[in-house]
Structures are given as C-alpha cells and as structure tokens.
Chains A and B, each alone.
Chain A
Amino acid sequence: MPRPRTIAYIGIALIVIALFALAGFIRPVRDFGARVLLPITRVFSGFGSAVGSALRIDRTTREANARSEELEARLRAQVVDYVRLRALEEENRALRAQAKFISEHEFRTVGARVISRSVSSQTAVVEIDRGKNDGADIGQAVITEDGFIVGKIVRAGDRTSSVMLLSDTRSRLAATVVGSDRVTGIVEGRGNAVAHFTLVPQEVTLEKDGVIVTAGTEEKVPGDLPIGLVIDVERKPTDPFQNAVIEPLAPVDRLRLVSIIVPGGN
C-alpha cells in the first residue's frame, strides 16, 4: 500500500506540472534547461550521429555505400553548378532589365548543429542548437553546407529551434523548375523522405531529373535554393495541374551541420 507521504509527493508533483503547463511556464523552464545543457548535447549528438552512421552501414555494403556517397556528392556538386549558372543567367537578365533596382532582401547564414531527430513515417523534424538569440525565427529556410534546402524553422526558442524537413507531411514550400519563368507549384512532404511537387500548371515542362528550386515568393526563403530532382511525373490531360515525385537533394539521414538563412546583410 502506498504511504501517505508517497501519495502527497505524487499529488504535489502532478499539480506543479499541470500548473506549469497551464500557466505557460514550461517554455522558460525548457529554455533554461536548453541553455544549461546545450554544451553537453553537442557532445552527445556528435557521438549519436557517429554511432547512427555506423549502424546504417552494413559491413558488406560499406564499400558500395562509400562509392554511392561519392557519386551523390558529385551529383550534388553538378546540381549546384547548374543551378548557380542558371540563376546567374536569370539574374543577369533581371539586372539588365532593372538596372536601378536595389535589393531590399539580403541574406546571411548562421551555422547550426543538429542535436536530435524526431523522424517517423509521417513527420520529420530535427532540433538545432540555434535560437532567437542567434537570429533564428519561424519560417526561415535551413540549408546544408552545399546549399540544398532542408526545411523551414517551425519553432524558435531562445537557444534551440525545430526544423521541419521537406518530407514531413505538414511541410509546404513554394517552388519552381529551375530556369523557368517563375511559374510556381508547391512542394509537399509525403513522409518517408519523399516529397511531391504539386499544383504545377500543365504548360510547365516537367522532365525526369529536372531540378526543382525554391520560388523566392516566401518572405524568409530566398529563391533558387535547390530542393530536389524530379523522379516521376504524374500528368493527366483532363487535370488542370500536374504533379511530380521529387527526391530531396539534402541527405536527411546524414544531416549534422546546417545553416539558417537569416534576412539582413552582413
């Protein structure tokens, strides 16, 4: 039989937790905990990511995976060059047309480390060690070292933030085909590291291996950030829109270091 003292402890603890939650005190407590423990989490997450990588690699497939990663890296580099060239071409055209235009939206990047992952079949959110104190805010884009967009910030604490990855079923991102005349569609997450490019007008040419980039129509997400490659196009003549299955270019399983794109020049 539980002692009266035990019951009192249980009651007090439950009441305190419930009051904290109701009064909104959980967030300051969470931020305080994050501030105190953040240095330790970096060590733990470094260890966790290393062990996680080792667990992913079976001994017999280690060599094949290394080769595959090398080819993937090469492909990503090619895509970066391609997108950059197309963006430069377009930028050149735009600058010529608007010679006196001064951009009001300049961006800088803030490096961040992924400290934990909450990835299930439907949702995919990671926690990073940068928050409002570092300039992070809800809606900002997060990219890899190569410049591929990973997702957007959906929660910004003082010291940490949550980043919803593109494959999360709740993720929506305005996008376009690289080099097109800014006709956009929406990249929607479908879970299991897959995303769909939807609501694309029929007149836009979608081809396999075509590169999808951000449209730049969202306030905190600059344009021409590579999102992924088209791997399949779903087109029906009777529908007003076409859809495409895309494979995100950012290596979601191996995300360790990312950058937040923060509005405002250096």
Chain B
Amino acid sequence: MKPPRSLRKLTEKLAVVNVTEEVIKVEGLTKIFNKHLVAVDHVSFSVKQGEIFGFLGPNGAGKTTTINMLITVLKPTSGKASILGYDIAKEANAVRYSIGVVPQEYTADEDLTGIENILLCADLYGIPREVSKKRAEELLELVELTKFKDKKVQTYSGGMRRRLELACGLINRPRVLFLDEPTLGLDVQTRAATWNYIKKLKKEFGMTLFMTTHYLEEADALCDRIAIIDHGKIVVIGTPDELKENLGGDIITLSIKQDADITNLVKKVERVKEVKKDDGMYLIKSENGEVTAPLIIESLRKEGYVVTKLSLSKPTLNEVYLQYTGRSIRDTEESPETVFAQRHTMRRARM
C-alpha cells in the first residue's frame, strides 16, 4: 500500500486551519477484542463543526467498532477521543446527552406506534413528557410521518422506518449525529429522499454529522470529508475531490488525424503527468482534465495537428477505494451477527 501523500498534506493543513471548532477529536483510538483481535488500530482524526464526515471501508474494517466507541457503547482499549470536549470514556454520560444515534438496524418496536416509539426514545433521555410530546410532533412533521404516527410500525415501509429512526435520533436535539449506514437496503428513490431529509435536518439543527456508508456515490455527493479505513487503520483522509485528484487526476483520451507521434509535445503541456500511446489513441493523465484538455488541443493546433476525437473521464471514489483497500466494496466477509441484523433490516426495508 502506497503511503498516502494526502494524509501528510492534510495534517499540515489542519494544523493551520485549527480555527474552526473540532467537534470530534480522536487520537490513537484502539480496540482489541479478546486480547488479540485488533479491530481498530491507532485511529486518529478530527471532525469540524458543521461538517459531514464519511467513514468508508470494507466490512470488518473497523467502521462499526469505531462508531460504537464514539457513541460510548464500547470502551476503547487505548487511545483517546472526545466529543464536544467530553471524553468518551470518562464523561460518557455527558457525551450521551449531546449526541444522537441513527443505527444501521431498524430498532423501532414493531408493536408500538410511531409516536410511541419516539416518546420511548425521549424517555431514555429523561425528557419530561410535556416537552417530548411537542418535540415529537415537530419531528414527525419534519420527516412527514404525522399522518402515520398512530399506526403500528409494522405497517411502515422501509423509507418510513428510516425516517422514524431519524426522528428518534434527533429527539434530544443532538449537536452531533451519528448515522450508521443510513440508507442500507433502500431503493434508489427512497435513498435520495432519505438524504434530502438528512440534509434538511442538518440545516435545521446545524448539526455535525458522522456517518458510515457502503454507497460510494453517496459519500462522494454528500460528505465534506472522507476517511477510508481498512484493517482497523485509516489509510487516507481528505475531501472527495482531493482523494480523487490524488489518484493522478483525470484521463483524457484523444486521437489525431495525422500519423505522427505527439507524445513529447503533449508532455510539455501544463499539469500533464503521463502520456501513453495505445492503438492510435493517446491516454493522458492529468489533474483538472477539463482545464488541461483545451490547452492540449490548443498546443496541438499550433503545430498543425488536428484533433479528431476527445473524451474526458473523471476518477470516481470507487477507484480511490480500490486503490487504497485493494478490493471492491462488496466482496468481503461478515460476522454472522451482522449478517443477521442486516438481513433483518433489509427485509423490513423491502416490506
């Protein structure tokens, strides 16, 4: 695995940008199960106020273990982490009061109605009934479940259940919201709708979001910053664009009318990193391809060459992911317990 250059770059940057408040601060967080199974290995990162921070990684990489430590469900073996300045180990209760959690599974009770479920969540925070009733109504309105609030959760669709989980996670007005695979098992439209709710809620409450996801396109579109975790270690952190650019940039494919070798000519163009000739086509690697492509055409025309075909492809997060983890996001093994919970969730989602 290549040493992530961007990581160094970013650490330097962070040291300078330290003006914004760091809501989540993690230093050398480690979790070892049964004395030898290292699930999370000296993970360090920080999340700024108002950011959407995405955690990506294959199953078993340590995403859920990390999130479970941050939400005070698991105790770290070593290392430190704080949320809003509260230590997750020493001031767990203060952390619990200030965070919201939207778990991967559908945890709402099927035999209870929507509103009963939200009120149950409120009771777990000790919020008095007169306050929680008002908040529950507001939240139901926000996630558009008011019409269904007195129906048993059994009758809810996957998207409705997810929205109910969201409402539950917000009942204590958290400043940091943790979302574990918030769109697992939902179809494309429902996923998009769910994200609209999440964005709306974030805007409404000005929260900081920490999420894990399997859907790379989603992470790309929504997250301000992303950390890729594998074998319990963070392999790279950065904005989606930074990560993609780090791969070496975009690929410009072109062909010319004339039968001549233009490799050296193209190489002189600004930002061009690599030129390969393949079957009469030139494959050019460059950062900011959309800016470089016109420059290439321009310099070729000056020499009298005519460009006949040109295409530009941007690297996706998928390629970033493959580069750093060496495997595709889907072909990994899971513990039976996770599989069961996921299957249950997905079955409910499809109802």
Bound together = no
